[in-house]
Amino acid sequence: MAEAASAVGSSRTDEFDMRFNPDCYCSTVQHTDNEDLTKQRKLIAEIAEFLLEQARTFDDNESFQQMPNFVRDCLQHALMPVEGASLSEAMHSRGINIRYLGKLTKIIENVEQLQYLKAICMCELICRSAKHVFRTYMQLVPAAHCGAAVSHFLNCLLGNSSAASTSNGGDETTSSANNVRKARSTKRRRQAGGIGKENDDWTHLSSKTLWTNLCSESDSYYAFEITSENMDAYVTQNSLQKTSILRRFAQMVGIQMLLRDYGLETGKKALPFVEDDIQNLYCVSKHVDPKAVDAHSLFISGQAKVQQGALRSGFEMVAEALNLMNNVYGAMHPDMAQCMRLLARLSYILGDPSEALAQQHKAALMSERCNGLDSASTILEYLNLAHFSFANLHIAASLKLLYRARYLLMLVHGENHPLMAQIDGNIGVILYAIQEYDDALKFLQSALKLHQIYMEPRALKTALIYHLMARTYSCRGDFRTALQMEKETFTIYSKTFGEEHEKTKESGDCLKHLTQQAVTFQKRINEANRQGAANIGQLVPIETHRPSLQSVLEVLNILNGIIFIQLKNANALADLESAESANDTAASTTAKDTAAADDESKDDETVETSSKTTPNQQPTMQEEALD
């Protein structure tokens, strides 16, 4: 044991106790004489190799390096960062420091399916580099000129500012929107004129100088070379939004700004910011949030039970974890929002949509207050809340929530994101349900375009979108286009499942039905042409059946990752019950109740479960796999 512990660099001989000293390479830190710096530096080099090694390919399941695993999770959509904060959290949760952000950007630079992640990384790189420059820049600014200095920096960063614009008393120190505040700020500047003359170095900053500093900072700190000539070229080349950059930078450095349209994307204003736009500067400090250890352990155990298929047991564990968090944290905490989201999902799967809506509503409210109105977590909460609202027949409310989630995602990142495909798919399905076929097609086409970019070429969700578009086109009377869409669905199903699979047969039957409708409609057209304009009424499209809300809800379940597995016979149900009982004795009561219900009815039963099942369930169940 002692030899093994010594070989891996353990600080103790009786157990593996690894201690890393990140300051062992730092020349400004004084080390004690008895420290073994050679051993500590070797450990730091080994952990860096563990993080960054790419000798093995992404498809090798035996690869244990953190960075390739991170990229693989993003490719498989196990991770889906929306903006810089969620990317930082995901990297930290896997032990990857932000200093490796440039390395991550280089790895995914040419991966087509991760171009959205590259855009997030590029936005984060420029914002963090700007944060470092801004910190030094503000140290030389007098307190009376903070507003003008911040607006000047933002103009240099996102506008087309020059050094003379502020030193000559230009537009940055005035505001036409509020004459009273303009007079007050001008009076303050006159009173503090002596201080401004003592130190006005901040007024000499220009866009060119700032961009040079940003490129240098990115290269030295993140080892990533920026080749763009200026910010406008950088934004265009990497498909970024200046609004997203402004939002992320303001969050990093603690700037509160006036809520108005700055026109950053149009580029009509050379100086979009003025002094009165800066409302406040607040302190942003790094800190570690304390965790309720027992509650967090219960939550993780509950998640594990859910993944194993023991839904009722997992639900009880998560509910107990929420109760403990409420006692430790109080009424509001981000971890409690996560618990409520999982409880809502489990309640829905277990057949209680009203309880799911109540829990998800609480989770959304808590996320708004704890994470922010435009955070990535809040967007997900809105999406889930819309799903459960539709399940409770609140159709108008579900559409409003989806539109809100879409607007926030456009603000935070832009349209090119896999999550946008999910949102557009949900909107398209609901619009199809309420017979708004033209608008439904617009959103379904957008979802299909994003699926083709970020999903696999033959992904089953892509086939589902094709099928929905075929149904929508047929309802509009465009049977030719509907046939083309359904043929794509049939091709994907036949290549994935084979000709004899249930899904392939359903798609084939749909093709036959659409063909018959197309032939019938063409006959009507030919007959009307022969008989003249008097019989134009025959061209009225063939009557189509309005989709049932239950069928629409099933599609929404699939789009949002909830799969209902159907058991073919009672023996399969008994096998499922015995497997769940073996995994957890707490689920035995549920298994007995289900078996008793099976004795009374020999019909096919539907067991509701999550998308992850235990290996014992797979031989007896037929699951519609997604991606």
Q: What is the SS3 string spanning 307-329?
A: HHCCHHHHHHHHHHHHHHHHHHH
Q: What's residue 50's pLDDT?
A: 74
Q: What's residue 22's pLDDT?
A: 77
Sketch out the chain's domains with CATH numbers.
1-52 (no CATH), 124-281 (no CATH), 288-369+379-393 (1.25.40.10), 563-622 (no CATH)
CB-count burial class (<10 Å; 0-12, 13-18, 19+) for 98: middle
Q: Are 311 and 346 in contact (CB under 8 A)?
A: yes
Angle value at C-alpha 265, between 156 and 250, nearest 5 degrees: 55
Averages of pLDDT over runs of 10 residues in the chain (627 residues) are 70 71 77 74 79 50 66 91 94 89 92 94 96 93 92 90 44 47 49 52 90 95 93 93 95 94 80 93 87 94 92 95 95 94 95 95 96 94 97 96 97 94 96 93 95 85 92 88 92 89 89 85 76 57 70 92 66 52 46 42 39 36 34
Strands 621-622 and 564-567: antiparallel
Assign 3-state DSSP to the chain and report helix, strand, coil percentages, each to 5: 65, 5, 30
Q: What's residue 516's pLDDT?
A: 86
In whole angstroms, what is the distance from residue 325 CA to residue 318 CA? Answer: 10
In whole angstroms, what is the distance from residue 352 CA to residue 568 CA? Answer: 24
In whole angstroms, what is the distance from residue 537 CA to residue 525 CA? Answer: 10
Q: What's residue 594's pLDDT?
A: 41
Q: Encoding tokens for residue 205?
A: 């900053």
Q: What's residue 578's pLDDT?
A: 57
Q: What's residue 199's pLDDT?
A: 67
CB-count burial class (<10 Å; 0-12, 13-18, 19+) for 564: middle
In whole angstroms, what is the distance from residue 68 CA to residue 62 CA? Answer: 11
Q: What is the dihedral of CA 459, 464, 469, 475, to 10 degrees?
A: 160
Q: What's residue 9's pLDDT?
A: 66
Q: What's residue 607's pLDDT?
A: 35
What residue type is 162 in one-letter code?
Answer: S
Q: What's residue 554's pLDDT?
A: 92
Q: What's residue 333's pLDDT?
A: 94
Q: What is the DSSP string of 222-279?
A: H------SSHHHHHHHTT--HHHHHHHHHHHHTEEE--S---TTT---S----GGGEE
